[in-house]
Structure 1
Amino acid sequence: MVGRWWSVLRAWPYTFGVALAAGVGITAIVLSTHLGIALKDPDGFLGPAYVRLPLIGLAFFALGVLPSAIRRAGWRHTGRGIRDIVRDEWTWGRVGHIATGLITFYICYVSYRNIKGFLPVLREGVNFDTMLSRWDYWLMFGHHPADLLHDLLGTSISAQVLATVYVSYLMLIPITLGAFLVLNRDYTLGAWYATSLSLNWVLGAASYYIFPSLGPTYSNATLFDELPTTGVTQLQESLFVNAAQNYEDPTAAPIWGIAAFASLHVSVTFTAVLFFQRTDQPRFVQVAAWVYFVLTVIATIYFGWHFIADDVAGAFIGWISVALAGWATGNGFWHQRHHKIQLTAEGDSEAASGSDTLANPA
């Protein structure tokens, strides 16, 4: 009986994701009420997340529909082509699945940011930077990892390149989410990715409370004095100012943004790498994702955001997120699935016939 009900629940690929969002959202609300610190919506690229995500979704909708509409009806009748495509392919079920993925991601992300923001209050005086630094020193045979990278890569062009990679993460993740939610007819694919990313936020927030830490750039700042001004160093300075305001009055300060263990930059980019591989995306996409991941890992150490253990833990969170989300959405994980994106209006009758199916296609 229980097994049958569980099968029914898993028939909708967002059951687990919605439950996860509800759980972490309620947790954030309870903590906010208990501490007397209002929930805040974190700002980011193109404004708050509730503005950013719908805009990205609409942009990918246009990207998927406009070229096909022009091919179908010609430039002069683009409007008619758009109407035909929307009528034939954009069911309310499809729109509902996209909206569910965006909302699930949004709730988990905003809750994660706020729960992370409560760290200095709930874990006041607890800090593992000394322990994590000693591990780094031992692993690198008596050297600081950041020093070795500065000597190996230099502190001029390399710093600018790595800073660009690190900061670009802020917009690449919602963009890839929008792509897999909007530009694909297999609902379970978008659900898998949205749930994987959401799990990153939840597991990452939990890891912050297990080993509260600031990271090398805040606990041993002299190691990074030679680095030039970049987008990363400016971000670090901004977070330092926010931290000082939080220590003075957490109820009025911006969201606390400093936490080292585990690295969510590493976990989320590793999630993308594994997801692209498991869903058999084009080879150039997989290679680009691996290169981006490696550069991100280097950047986290180079700029002092994280210790080595933070990155290892981040990779584990990324792996478990993809595996668990794959199972929860009916996609599996251990066996590679051919789930390349099927664009909205390519006339693929097989894909179209499965576009309204809530269960994972065989």
Structure 2
Amino acid sequence: MNITRVLPQTARQWGLAWACSLILVVVMLVMSATTNVPLRDPDNVLPGYIRFPLIVVGVLAVDVLPRWILRMSRDRVGPVDSFKGVMRDRWPASHWWFAANGVVSWYVCYAAFRNVKSMAPIANPGLWDDRLAHLDRFFLGGHDPADVLHSMLGQGWAAHLLSDVYFLWIAMVPVSIAVALVWTRFTSAGAWFVTAVSVDWLLGALLYYVIPTVGPIYSDPKTFAHLPHTYVTELASSMWDDRVKVLADPTTYDGLQTIAAFPSLHVGIMVTITLTVVLIRVPRIVRIAAYVMLVLTILATVYLGWHFGADVIGGALLGAFAVWAAAMATGNHEGWRPALRPQEAQELDELASSALTTRP
């Protein structure tokens, strides 16, 4: 790996991602000093600095093991030589460097984001929920968006389905990061996506301080009291308990509060995922799945009471801007239009064409 060539490329690929991480770290340290709130590990069950590398290692194993077995069978060579061959082909030093930058910069951004989010109601205790609820009803002719969805979808199976969608989203984000860093060999695309998610975290965290909200499930609980008991019911209760404990004694409670509704980062990051897979022209089935998940995520966040309609719009705009900003920063653009770098775009087109024309 030629360091004189790698460093400029690293700055181009990961400069904005690292900038987002460092800005959030500075905000986190300043807020901690001014509010006297100590910094916390964002994952109290299994620390993120263990969990995220484990996810990457798991995806790495899925990437390497089948190729290792296939090479042993096809080339009839020993396991050591086969493993070395796979690692040489799939994991040269340049890709280790690429993946390490992505994992570390994103995790630093994530950990800082969680702490900054936790301190938001301490720094700005005011709430905008009534104003956002009024805005929602104004645009829906006096109707509440959640009530409309409850009437349209019913109050049984839809609650369970959308609760599962919400849970799926939670798992999907770290997995998508690992896939972008481990499975892909289109490093421009991977850096573009991971950087865009970092932009989502940064701008989302800052907006939590400007427009603090808790969301309809907490500001108007009677609207959601008739929904059946689901995973989301338990999650909402535990999140409120954490918030109460943090606000009551932020210096000693060993946890984070995670409630902040505007903008909806569930929607924002799902928009980022959807636009990315469309712009880099992944197989059609993946694009369709992304669109379906985006629609279900929007429905889930409003139906279950996590977000106002205004939060959804704000999140969607944020997610789209993050894709554009990351494209500009990572060099994936033609003028002001986001576009995968020509060489990788051509390789992806050839790969897709090959997959369509190959016959068993």
**1-side partners of 2:345 and 2:81: how far apart?**
28
Other structure's SS at 2:297 match: helix
Determine if contact 1:66/1:78 at 8 Å carries over to the other structure. no
Other structure's SS at 1:14 match: helix
Match for residue 358 of structure 2? none
Match for residue 54 of structure 2? 55
Question: Larger deviation: 183-192 or 50-59?
Answer: 183-192
**2-side partners of 1:238 and 1:167: how far apart?**
15
Determine if contact 1:104/1:194 at 8 Å carries over to the other structure. no
Question: Larger deviation: 160-169 or 30-39?
Answer: 30-39
Establish whether residue 148 from structure 1 lines up as the match of residue 148 from structure 2: yes
Distance 1:340 1:47, change over 3 A: farther
Distance 1:51 1:10, change over 3 A: closer
TM-score (ref. length: structure 2):
0.88
Determine if contact 1:199/1:321 at 8 Å carries over to the other structure. yes
Other structure's SS at 2:229 match: coil
The unaligned stretches of length 5 or more in structure 2 are: 1-6, 352-360
Distance 1:341 1:194, change over 3 A: farther
Query: Deviations along 1:33-63, whole A, 9 cap, x unmatched?
Result: 222211112228x822211211111112111
Question: Larger deviation: 53-62 or 273-282?
Answer: 53-62
Query: Deviations along 1:55-96, whole A, 9 cap, x unmatched?
Result: 111112111112222222229844431221213442222111
The unaligned stretches of length 5 or more in structure 1 are: 1-6, 347-362
Distance 1:295 1:340, change over 3 A: farther
Other structure's SS at 1:166 match: helix
Query: Deviations along 1:173-225, whole A, 9 cap, x unmatched?
Result: 11011111111223222211111111110010111111111111111110001
Match for residue 284 of structure 1? 285
Determine if contact 1:276/1:286 at 8 Å carries over to the other structure. yes
Distance 1:342 1:57, change over 3 A: farther
Match for residue 238 of structure 2? 238
Structure ranking higher in helix proportion: 2
Match for residue 12 of structure 2? 12
Distance 1:50 1:10, change over 3 A: closer
Q: CA deviation at 1:290?
A: 0.5
Determine if contact 1:183/1:341 at 8 Å carries over to the other structure. no
Match for residue 306 of structure 2? 305
Question: Larger deviation: 65-74 or 296-305?
Answer: 65-74
Establish whether residue 170 from structure 1 lines up as the match of residue 170 from structure 2: yes
Other structure's SS at 2:184 match: coil
Determine if contact 2:327/2:339 at 8 Å carries over to the other structure. no
Match for residue 109 of structure 1? 110
Q: CA deviation at 1:316?
A: 0.6
Other structure's SS at 2:333 match: coil
**2-side partners of 1:340 and 1:8: how far apart?**
21
**2-side partners of 1:22 and 1:55: how far apart?**
24
Determine if contact 2:163/2:232 at 8 Å carries over to the other structure. yes
Establish whether residue 223 from structure 1 lines up as the match of residue 223 from structure 2: yes
Distance 1:32 1:80, change over 3 A: same
TM-score (ref. length: structure 1):
0.87
Runs of 4+ in 1 over 6 A off after TM superposition: 340-343
Match for residue 198 of structure 2? 198
Paired residue type of 1:56: I
Determine if contact 1:282/1:340 at 8 Å carries over to the other structure. no
Q: CA deviation at 1:298?
A: 0.5
**1-side partners of 2:347 and 2:229: how far apart?**
42
Distance 1:230 1:79, change over 3 A: farther
Match for residue 275 of structure 1? 276
Other structure's SS at 2:207 match: helix
Q: How does 1:259-270 map to 2 (within 5 A)?
A: 259-270=260-271
**1-side partners of 2:285 and 2:318: how far apart?**
25
**1-side partners of 2:347 and 2:26: how far apart?**
36
Determine if contact 2:332/2:339 at 8 Å carries over to the other structure. no
Match for residue 98 of structure 1? 99
Determine if contact 1:214/1:260 at 8 Å carries over to the other structure. yes
Distance 1:23 1:11, change over 3 A: closer
